[in-house]
Amino acid sequence: MRVRIWGARGSIPAPGPDTARYGGNTSCVQVTLSDGNMLVLDAGSGIRDLGPSCGQAEKINILLTHLHLDHIQGLLFFAPFFRPDVEIVIWGPPAPGRSLRDRIARYLSAPLSPVEIRSLPAKVSFRKCPADEWEIGSARIRAAHVNHRGPTLGFRITEADASLCYLPDHEPALGMPLDHVEPDWISGFALAERCSLLMHDCQYADDEYPERVGWGHSRVSDALLFARRTEAEHVLLFHHDPLHTDGQLDLLLGRADEDWEGLGGSPGALAMAVEGAELELRATE
């Protein structure tokens, strides 16, 4: 499968010269399967740039981890919604009360939006992610609720022996000592276990975290510890804080590299997610 990052920023888009290298668009990742099927992980502002690249795709699956604004704010600006010949399936987290469609319609309706869901030309449907693994094209998808504010999913996408784990908004260390708690008690562990690539929340520097405990995001050291415990093969630190400039992210990565080595991580297996980056995940031995 091929993975392309269209947005790696958290909370709110952060455009400008200080964020140009890592990118300012909020969460959106395109996954192209070997059979040609396309999955889109989250619909942050990055999805706007993805739109023109979709060509004449007849069916697109959008998998939303949760409905916080930075993960859905690009929906209305995704060009395929305005093509009548395309089928778009939006998958999202099950939650008590209102349906997924109704919850998203709170954003895509007046007074917040000039266009409503029913006016979109595309054939749009909404589905709750099932509790059991399911298939889209040649991929098997597994979703699980993870620790973040509000109903939030993480995803594991497996094709042949290659697997991508996507946990953009995740605070597994909240009240849980990651270094010694049993694996089945760690939020997201099963999704990430021995995956080929883990994309994980790294929103806060360690010295910023104490003021933000419980906000649903990880400090870098917890993201690294989580990655080591789950034995993820490669790690992309994701969901950059909007206040973190390129220079600050460089510094964070420098420190993270040292910590990663200290934890016994493989050299070169850790990187910061960069908007526009493209990776090919291949089957591991």
For helices 220-230 and 246-262, give the axis angle rounded to 10 degrees: 40
Contact 167, 188 (CB under 8 A): yes
* Residue 205: other Cβ atoms inside 10 A: 18
At 268 the three-state DSSP class reads: coil
Site membership for another protein, residue 174 (CB under 8 A): yes
Rg (CA), the chain: 18
Site membership for another protein, residue 185 (CB under 8 A): yes
Site membership for another protein, residue 92 (CB under 8 A): no
Q: From 213, 257, 209, select the one nearest 237 (Cα to Cα).
A: 257
CA 117 – CA 101 distance, rounded (Å): 9
Task: Return the residue matching tokens 């007046």.
Answer: 110
Site membership for another protein, residue 193 (CB under 8 A): yes
Site membership for another protein, residue 195 (CB under 8 A): yes
- Least CB distance to another protein at residue 26 (A): 24
Site membership for another protein, residue 203 (CB under 8 A): no
Contact 19, 246 (CB under 8 A): yes
Which position among 147, 203, 221, 245 is part of the footprint of another protein (CB under 8 A)? 147
CB nearer to another protein: pick between 4 and 145:
145
CA 179 – CA 185 distance, rounded (Å): 12
Site string for another protein, 122-141 (x = CB under 8 A): ---------x----------
| Cα-based angle 270, 15, 78 (whole degrees, multiple of 5) | 90
- Least CB distance to another protein at residue 222 (A): 14
Which position among 45, 196, 203, 218 is part of the footprint of another protein (CB under 8 A)? 196
At 262 the three-state DSSP class reads: helix
Site membership for another protein, residue 254 (CB under 8 A): no
Site membership for another protein, residue 65 (CB under 8 A): no
Site membership for another protein, residue 190 (CB under 8 A): yes
Site membership for another protein, residue 191 (CB under 8 A): yes
| Binding residues for another protein (CB under 8 A) | 93-96, 131, 142, 144-147, 151, 156, 161, 163, 174-176, 182-191, 193-196, 284
